A and B are shown apart, each in its own frame.
Chain A
């Protein structure tokens, strides 16, 4: 929580200070009211009170009351503005931070958790800052001012009040100590209930197929009951607070009157007794106001456990240093003849290990993809295919060795310049809310990254890729075999794409995501098993169109089907993170055992003989 406050900016502190100053004024005016009452009491008791003088006093009291309200509203305005601005700022910080994360950090937090942290957790903090912070300041202020005013009367009262305040404070501290860990546990148990529920929903078909509803129900019930019992304990501890407070307030009033009676009895004279009496009436008002201030802390303590947990969760994000830091290089190397090197990818003895994994996902990978070549990568599940290609756009960092694009180590590139050279098409297609157009023309390219073919001069500024060029858009849609269904959609290129592409089918999504890669006209294409969601026919037509249109672009194609990569210039065969074969389809059929095994399961004998 303390760390959270360090994210407050000068303007927030200014607003906060202003709201505190207003609060000061408010509390002062609020405590002024009983003073008038003391005057009234005296007048009434001495019999000097006339309706006129009493009404005048009443007028002053009304002014005070109005002033209190006005300052409170102004203070509330400041603090609302402050907390809203602070939460805006906090959200922004988190979002910016997450944008700098590499896949490694995203995986570690999990997307779902990052989302709750950026939204719900911020709301918790905001609630706390807007209400809690003020109360934390207000309570001691009220206590201090009231004590100051009271100290001018009789010490017996002050002492009684002080004792009560200390007692209440001690009780609060003890209760918090007991409640806090239980609230933390509650958060965990809530996660558990969510997890169990989610499991039931995602596994619906399997659960029903295995008639396992009972089993799942029991699991959920355990988590559910745990949550309930823990919540009962946690809440009931905090529930002691208002009762304690109420009792303390009431009892203190009685005690003050009691003490007052003794003081009056021992005062001896009428005048002195009267003074004590008026003081007593006022004093009890002070005391109850003071305890009311303390009881408003109760709300703070209700919010605190949740807010503190949220603060911790947000801090975890903000304090994470992204593993990947952008370099500065924007240009690739020049070739010997002085023309820029465009479209080469080289791996030099690259090894890669996922964070906290015990074994390498990739070991000693070396190969070069020259400009214009098509490289196929094949291998069994978990053989490291995806890990290998995700090192090229530097989504992960190689643990050992070097990955070079256009002759420059990817670590030295400015990330944007590096990625401007590439089109990375993932296995699971991702589409964003918008239109077909906004999805296909998605992204930016920096001027430094050359464009490969014909119609554009390398190095010429085309940053950003807007306005989207109509012909290029259609040609990208064409190549990715998406024209047929795009033309059928209402509005064609302007047809809306719903969140996550939920209004198009899986195959269509994949084709649009390929179109996005094509539209970019990169130096290097990376297809990470991007064709597997397509049926054979579309897969083939698409690759054909790509070959015709991609010009001199380099293609790196990860595939699980041999048919997808059999006509590649070179095929890398991966097994357990190592390259176990490299060559053309025919060469590998003859010489690579792993490749042969794959081929046997996919091709008929007849086809195998062709090689």
Chain B
């Protein structure tokens, strides 16, 4: 989980802590973030309205309760003072009260139930949209972002949003509704006593606000050190072999303990401060309670109110102070959710690749001629690395691209496959500009074997037939036979159905062979091999070479090669240096030129000659 800070859109991303780290990240624009979250809630508005109705209902019913208790109390007090007590009536009222409470609790449950379902749905939709979004973003953008950060948006950030939707948003609604209705109920019952209760609660509320503001600093610091700590741990675990081999353990531990100590201090300060909330809430509750008791008693003593009113108020105060805590907790949670939402929506708001439905969808390259016509390109604005490149690959030609590390060989692939767009100039396949076709169409023309051998979790068969339609088992077996994997795969217990995953993995060489087999079955007119054979061992390579030879026959192929054998067989060699194509020609032509290629070539064999 790489957690680097980087710029995406207009929002600076900070590393996020644990999934439930209760991070108090301040959103840049609280309202905007929530507007976007609510946009996602739109399809579920019927449910949400139901939730609101249920919440109001649950609160209302629970407020009728104290009223019933007041009646009971007053009846008891009357009975106490000599009047005869109507026990059956009390029983009836009690049953009514219990029924009301039951109704209230049932409504509360259904409200919670619907909220959970809706919140998880929204979570699901967000995850789906992020996953979909990835497919629509240009590679130039993706190559710059860290996977770890993106992953943490899918899990941690969306988790935070979900949590706050299902808990805090409901708490908020419930809290506010309760607060309003409880205030109203109190005011209706007795105005002076209600004012006493409200005033004491407000006092407590003020306290809480001060604490929240004060504790912010420690939360920010805690998150920062948590991020630094994550970074250190990640680096040390990933570089474990080096740490061990160079006896770097002690230095690594020293740094770790330093960070750990800082984290500890900020951890307990932030926890302590946020932990004060609860006692204060209780204090507010108690304060309200005692004020009602004392003031109420004084009023009763002066015959201003009945004792039943005090009882009702004691319960009202209890009902009334609870939501204050809920609301204050919810506000912090909603804040961190807004911060998380900003990160998610920043990604979802990324510029997408242009829509191409009106472009050519089904162009077929019959000949396989590829023309580069005055191509200009650079990865960053203003830094052109390919200048005015012109070249024609005739049908069936084998083109090799060579050059030292970092010379920009993969750039050619990025351009051919339209992973990146040209600054100016054209690339034409059989006379058609590739920007006139849809990207999907361009890619349909190429079979590709890349340096990073990417396999997905699935059976060997699915991996090889990947992306191609109507591939028969026989074709798959044949391809595997040709790359020398068939016997090995047959020797596995499940054969071609063996699932490749963490528990069963192939060696680097075998993975490479798999991707070659994949290219073989895909039957495309053009071929790209990006250092494809570099991690295949030299013996297996011979096998692969033969198969490749067969594969390239009749196809126009572009090979990025480190291997001399590939280079020697090529019809044209493009020599790249610092992004430029400095020379082009056949092997012998280039040697004769005695330029950069000749220098590269000879450096390999100077040793041999000197022996």
Contact = CB atoms under 8 A, between A and B. Distances in A.
Contacts of B256: 92, 95
Contacts of A123: 17-18, 20-21
B164 to A, nearest CB: 14
A84 to B, nearest CB: 3
B135 A213 contact: yes
Contacts of A110: 502
For the complex of A and B, list the 6 residue pairs with the smallest distance between their C-beta atoms, beginning with the closest.
A210-B467, A443-B246, A381-B509, A380-B537, A72-B279, A84-B268
Given A247-B102, A430-B242, A610 B293 contact: no
Given A44-B300, A51-B298, A597-B539, 19 more contacts: A81-B272, A91-B263, A111-B237, A120-B18, A130-B271, A202-B452, A208-B139, A212-B467, A221-B131, A254-B65, A254-B69, A254-B94, A257-B73, A264-B80, A265-B85, A380-B539, A500-B238, A537-B603, A567-B611
Given A270-B80, A533-B405, A560-B537, A442 B246 contact: yes
A102 B240 CA distance: 9
Interface stretch (A187-195, A364-372, A454-462): A187-195
Interface in A257-279: 257-258, 260-262, 264-265, 270, 273-274, 277
Interface string A33-66: 1001100110111010111001101100110111
A193 B539 contact: no
Nearest to B167: A302
A244 B460 CA distance: 51
Interface stretch (B120-128, B343-351, B424-432, B547-555): B120-128
* From A49, A64, A208, A538, residue with most partner B Cβ within 10 Å: A208
Contacts of B509: 380-382
A224 interface: yes
Contact of A261 (B90, B98, B235, B508): B90
Contact of A381 (B97, B240, B535): B535
25 contacts: A33-B286, A65-B283, A68-B286, A69-B282, A76-B272, A83-B271, A92-B260, A106-B237, A106-B240, A127-B22, A202-B454, A204-B139, A208-B439, A210-B443, A236-B112, A251-B98, A254-B69, A254-B94, A258-B91, A264-B79, A265-B87, A277-B76, A379-B537, A380-B538, A563-B607
B290 A243 contact: no
B38 interface: no
Nearest to A200: B134
Nearest to A116: B1
Nearest to B417: A209
A37 B151 contact: no
Interface in B553-596: 563-565, 568
A385 to B, nearest CB: 10
B104 interface: yes
A256 to B, nearest CB: 10
Interface stretch (B185-193, B223-231, B370-378): B223-231
A257 B66 CA distance: 12
A13 interface: no
Interface string A67-87: 011001100110111011101
A243 B106 contact: yes
Contact of B318 (A68, A72, A251, A288): A288
Nearest to A378: B538
At the interface, is chain B mostly helix, strand, loop or mixed? helix
* From B20, B263, B280, B456, residue with most partner A Cβ within 10 Å: B456
Interface stretch (B29-37, B43-51, B247-255, B385-393): B247-255
Contacts of A177: none
A195 B501 CA distance: 10
Contacts of B101: 246-247, 250-251, 254
Contacts of A190: 155
Given A72-B279, A424-B245, A602-B538, A224 B127 contact: yes
Contact of A61 (B155, B294, B541): B294
Contact of B539 (A239, A390, A594): A594
Interface in A203-259: 203-213, 215-217, 219-221, 224-225, 227-228, 231-232, 235-236, 239-240, 242-244, 246-247, 250-251, 253-255, 257-258
A204 B280 CA distance: 52
Contacts of B263: 88, 91
B379 interface: no
The contact size tier of chain B is: 35 or more
Interface string B450-477: 1010101100000000111000000000
B166 A235 contact: yes
Contacts of B117: 232, 236
Interface string A358-401: 00000000000000000000111111000000100101000000
A542 to B, nearest CB: 11
B245 A419 contact: yes
A92 B256 CA distance: 8
Nearest to B68: A254
B126 to A, nearest CB: 10
B20 A127 contact: yes
A236 B599 contact: no
A424 B563 CA distance: 26
A224 B131 contact: yes
Interface string A425-451: 010001011000000001111100000
B545 A601 contact: yes
A420 B244 contact: no
A497 to B, nearest CB: 11
B417 A208 contact: yes
A484 to B, nearest CB: 13
Contacts of A600: 542
Interface residues of A, number: 183
A446 B545 contact: no
Interface in A104-130: 106, 110-112, 114-116, 118-120, 123-124, 126-127, 130
Contacts of A80: 268-269, 271-272, 275
B497 interface: no
Contacts of A516: 246
Contact of A536 (B20, B69, B603): B603
Contacts of B147: 198, 201-202
A209 to B, nearest CB: 4
Contacts of B65: 250, 253-254
* From B246, B257, B502, B607, residue with most partner A Cβ within 10 Å: B246
A391 B61 CA distance: 73
Contact of B301 (A54, A58, A277): A54
Given A84-B271, A127-B20, A264-B76, A57 B294 contact: yes
A96 interface: yes
Contacts of B283: 65-66, 68-69
A257 B540 contact: no
A123 B225 CA distance: 13
B289 interface: yes
A203 B518 CA distance: 14
Contact of B467 (A72, A211, A247): A211
A433 B231 contact: yes
Given A80-B272, A507-B406, A217 B131 contact: yes
Nearest to B101: A250
Contacts of B307: 41, 44-45
Interface string A533-571: 111111010000000000000000000101100110000
A382 B116 contact: no
* From B116, B154, B244, B263, residue with most partner A Cβ within 10 Å: B244
B599 A537 contact: yes
A114 B1 CA distance: 11
A199 interface: yes
B139 A205 contact: yes
Contacts of A211: 440, 443-444, 467
A18 B54 CA distance: 43
B20 to A, nearest CB: 7
Given A95-B253, A232-B117, A540 B607 contact: yes
Interface in B1-40: 1-2, 4, 17-22
